[in-house]
Structure 1
Amino acid sequence: MSMLNQQFGMALPRRSLLQAGACSLLGLGLPQLLSHQAVASAGGSFGSAKRCIFIFLWGGPSHIDTLDPKPEAPTDIRGSFSPINTSVPGVQVSELLPNIAQRMHDVAVIRSLNHTDPAHLSSAHAALTGQLAPVPRSDAEPPSERDAPHIGSVVARLRSAPRGLPGFVTMPWIAYHPAAPGGQAPGQRAGWLGHNYDPMLVEGDPSQNQWRVPALQLQDALSAERLSSRMQLLTDLDAQRAALNASASGLALNGFQQQATELLTSPRVREAFSIDQETEETRNRYGRNIHGQCVLLARRLSERGVPLVCVNWHNDGQNFWDTHGNNFGHLKQHLPTFDAGISALIDDLHERGLQDDVTVVVWGEFGRTPKINDKGGRDHWAPVQSVLVSGGGMKEGIVIGSTDKTAAYAEDRPVHYRDVLATIYYNLGIESYQYIRDQNDRPVVILPEEARPIRELL
């Protein structure tokens, strides 16, 4: 015992040693248990948040042109944009993020996120799940049931939504890359957890006047009453299929039927998705575009109790944030849209007293190369990228980690995807080292043993 105390610099009570023994039987290492205890002893409030809004900038945004400017770097690295001061002394961001700059005291930025996977599909899997993709460093492997579950699927499995509301919503599409042979990025659904925990997919452009949630539209000839009658018939038939219903697939089918009925008939669900109830001023603040209105809709859903909402950057017809060419032209279009939506969300969460209840995380699958290529673009760069987080009771107005003078590598405090996800789970009161059952009833750990909540945020 004295050796352990000396090694970790902390006293281990008998209960902790018993926990360590139990965890070792489950395959959990002592370092991971101690890490969580250290976070708690430092004042981290386990379970301080109730919900999460996860904004995924598909394609991989340039960190040096957004949250980690390097004005002293050579011209072929620093790029076209100038840095501006923020509300936090000594912290600068791109001139195209003026609204976020004014709210830097309400967010935290991680500048030292790093990994080793330069492929869109497999690195997206890592960012969305915290686990390596079944086939790492690959743009050729499509989604499969071997994938780890999206964090939203795990949260939906372990946290209940108010009756009638979905546990996990993704909008406005399942991210897809036309240049990737595998097409859709893996890790966007429930993977080995089973389809019962797939997200409710909300497609389309909510900035359009006639937009409605396709999944909530009953066929013209099918009223809510007729739907209820048909579901009663299905219930009667199900009673005669006991063998099927006893199986995992049967239970999943029943879950789908119940969810589908509640989604189609619940006034609470329709009200949550009724973005036209927002004032014109509010809608304008978020931006009258697909991204801004999806972020606003995410706030509505989170406010009403949906545990996790994921907003993927939309299909903009320009390869998203994947700026191999004309990087600065694309960012002049993307960044004002991004800046307006995120800053409006931050304001709303604070004005509504939700800043401690809702964790917000914003990132892509990797950063971009420091050196500008001959097409005026930046290529994939896994060694470092930036992340913006806010709310959830986390510390704000801080920058975690730093990069070298060209924003090529983390100079101190390297952070991994799994650490950010471990922090989100911690905020939500979910032990990321616990085991959950997959669809074949096998125990699988949520995050790998190396995952650590980021102490500076808690």
Structure 2
Amino acid sequence: MTHPFNASSNICPGPQKRRGFLKMGLAGFATLSLPGVLRLRADTEVPRKKKTSVIMIWKPGGCSHIDTYDPKPNAPSEYRGPFATIPTAVPGLQFTELLPLQAKLAEKFTVLRSMRHGSPGHPAGSMRMFSGDTDTRDKPKPKLPSWMAVTKYQRSLEGNRNNPLPSYVSVNGPGGSYNGPAYLGDAYGAYAVTGDPNAPNFSVPNIGITDAAKVKHLGRRAALRQKLDTLERAFDQSGELESLDEFETQAMTLLTNQKTKEAFDLTREDEKTRDRYGRNTWGQQLLMARRLLEAGVHVVTTSLRGPLCGRVQNWDDHAVNHHVFDALRFRAGTYDQAVSALIEDIYSRGLDEQVLVVVTGEFGRTPKVKTNGGRDHWPRLSTLAFSGGGFRMGQV
């Protein structure tokens, strides 16, 4: 089977086998048990000048692929919806009119229209995408670690990290109930940043402290804690103190290193750049993600949810929540601007060989529109968009 990132044609070669999909560099989205990842790494690792970092843009609830990246212009109206199709920069590839900015940049990313799984609920569908969990039942928490946590674990095996920033950061990222480090331990979870980065008073608290007296005081407290838990360490059967050590090291570095504060500071960006992303929560989240990867973070996740999504603040466009087409019209402009700005920025800064942008959600929406104006969950097919990562772009 022709590898989709090396094909000479833009025609989709059909659903990929699991091993072929893994080789695209997105192991976590298909099957991510830890032994499987380590085995894949040994089998397929190729020399690279720099390791690939990832920005995952998560659309919680499940975006309608038919109304965005995978239109069906020749289908009956009850399937295709009201949106016109538009040409993209890639001959033969069409999007809907909701994504004009991304359509102009289509040669800089690839869409995978054959993503499918069998988990129809939000928890199970999300866990399938984050960790490869094949259990189709919804669960209150994941039993397998997310691909993000596995990445952090794998990078930790390379030795001490010289960069003061965490290797894995969540900027208003996907909810913790659907993903996490599971049995790897909390030390491999995300450093979570919350709040609206577009707010004039936004800041990440307690990072980059420069006051010498405060830094000295923090050091004394850390030393005292180490003395107090010396006796407990012999009875630590679960490794919780080891995780605590890891947390403490990360916390002290974040608290006392000025570089950490600069990485999160969007005021250091050119005003035109901030405008290009959009002066809103989503646009500034993606801009922060780019800044963090430039500063040395390996994985950044960010979730496009909240008031910019509409009434129920996510992409779950059942008729009971809101009319699917009205909801898509409401959020499309903000979404299209933010994602296209990030892709343009990645390429203009020469980061496309080292940074992979992934845009996805837990599943797609039903092909047929409900009579009352909604599309329901559809795990049988959805579209993922990728940009950069050193892969060949402009394909479907």
- Which of these residues, 324, 328, 334, is aligned with residue 327 of structure 1? 324
Residues 87-98 of structure 1 aligned to structure 2 (within 5 Å):
87-98=89-100
Q: What residue identity is the alignment partner of 1:322?
A: D
Q: What residue identity is the alignment partner of 2:215?
A: A
Give the RMSD, CA atoms, in angstroms: 2.6
What residue ranges of structure 1 are gaps of 5+ in the alignment?
A: 1-25, 176-183, 400-458
TM-score, L = length of structure 1: 0.71
Find the residue that maps to 2:117 and give its secondary structure. coil
Find the residue that maps to 2:57 and give its secondary structure. strand
Find the residue that maps to 1:223 and give its secondary structure. helix
Counterpart for residue 163 of structure 1: 163
Identical positions, percent: 38
- Which of these residues, 223, 234, 252, is aligned with residue 214 of structure 2? 223
**Paired residues of 2:174 and 2:301 also in contact (CA < 8 A):** no
Find the residue that maps to 1:53 and give its secondary structure. strand
Shift of 1:245: 6.5
Counterpart for residue 80 of structure 1: 82
CA distance in 1, matches of 2:83, 2:243: 51
Counterpart for residue 256 of structure 1: 247
Counterpart for residue 361 of structure 2: 364
Q: What residue identity is the alignment partner of 2:82?
A: S
Shift of 1:235: 3.1
Shift of 1:240: 5.1
Residues 177-326 of structure 1 aligned to structure 2 (within 5 Å):
185-186=177-178, 188-214=179-205, 216=207, 223-239=214-230, 241-244=232-235, 248-316=239-307, 317-325=311-319, 326=323
Shift of 1:372: 0.8
CA distance in 2, matches of 1:113, 1:241: 48
Could you say if the C-alpha distance between residues 257 and 246 of structure 1 is closer, same or farther in structure 2, counting changes exceeding 3 Å? farther
CA distance in 1, matches of 2:237, 2:121: 41
CA distance in 2, matches of 1:262, 1:245: 25
Matched, 1:378 2:375: yes
Q: What residue identity is the alignment partner of 1:169?
A: V
CA distance in 1, matches of 2:72, 2:368: 12
**Paired residues of 1:49 and 1:393 also in contact (CA < 8 A):** no
Counterpart for residue 121 of structure 1: 123
Shift of 1:217: 8.7
Shift of 1:252: 1.2
**Paired residues of 2:116 and 2:379 also in contact (CA < 8 A):** yes
Shift of 1:91: 0.5
Could you say if the C-alpha distance between residues 45 and 76 of structure 1 is closer, same or farther in structure 2, counting changes exceeding 3 Å? farther
CA distance in 1, matches of 2:133, 2:50: 24
Could you say if the C-alpha distance between residues 277 and 391 of structure 1 is closer, same or farther in structure 2, counting changes exceeding 3 Å? same
Find the residue that maps to 1:208 and give its secondary structure. coil
CA distance in 2, matches of 1:242, 1:60: 45
Could you say if the C-alpha distance between residues 49 and 105 of structure 1 is closer, same or farther in structure 2, counting changes exceeding 3 Å? farther
**Paired residues of 1:99 and 1:340 also in contact (CA < 8 A):** yes
Could you say if the C-alpha distance between residues 163 and 237 of structure 1 is closer, same or farther in structure 2, counting changes exceeding 3 Å? farther
CA distance in 2, matches of 1:213, 1:300: 14
Counterpart for residue 7 of structure 2: none
Count of matched residue pairs: 349
**Paired residues of 2:58 and 2:173 also in contact (CA < 8 A):** no
Q: What residue identity is the alignment partner of 1:76?
A: E
Larger Rg: 1 or 2? 1
Which stretch of the first structure deviates more once superposed, 152-161 or 68-77?
152-161
Which stretch of the first structure deviates more once superposed, 357-366 or 314-323?
314-323
CA distance in 2, matches of 1:365, 1:215: 33
- Which of these residues, 130, 143, 148, is aligned with residue 141 of structure 2? 143
Could you say if the C-alpha distance between residues 36 and 390 of structure 1 is closer, same or farther in structure 2, counting changes exceeding 3 Å? farther
Find the residue that maps to 2:234 and give its secondary structure. helix
CA distance in 1, matches of 2:267, 2:290: 14
Q: Deviations over 1:297-341 (max 9, x none)?
A: 110111111110011122335241101121111111222111111
CA distance in 2, matches of 1:173, 1:307: 15
**Paired residues of 1:124 and 1:185 also in contact (CA < 8 A):** no
Could you say if the C-alpha distance between residues 249 and 27 of structure 1 is closer, same or farther in structure 2, counting changes exceeding 3 Å? closer
Find the residue that maps to 2:79 and give its secondary structure. helix
Q: What residue identity is the alignment partner of 1:148?
A: L
CA distance in 2, matches of 1:27, 1:125: 18
Find the residue that maps to 1:306 and give its secondary structure. coil
Shift of 1:158: 1.1
TM-score, L = length of structure 2: 0.82
**Paired residues of 2:149 and 2:180 also in contact (CA < 8 A):** yes
Q: Deviations over 1:360-411 (max 9, x none)?
A: 1111100001111122111111110101001111110000xxxxxxxxxxxx
Find the residue that maps to 1:66 and give its secondary structure. coil
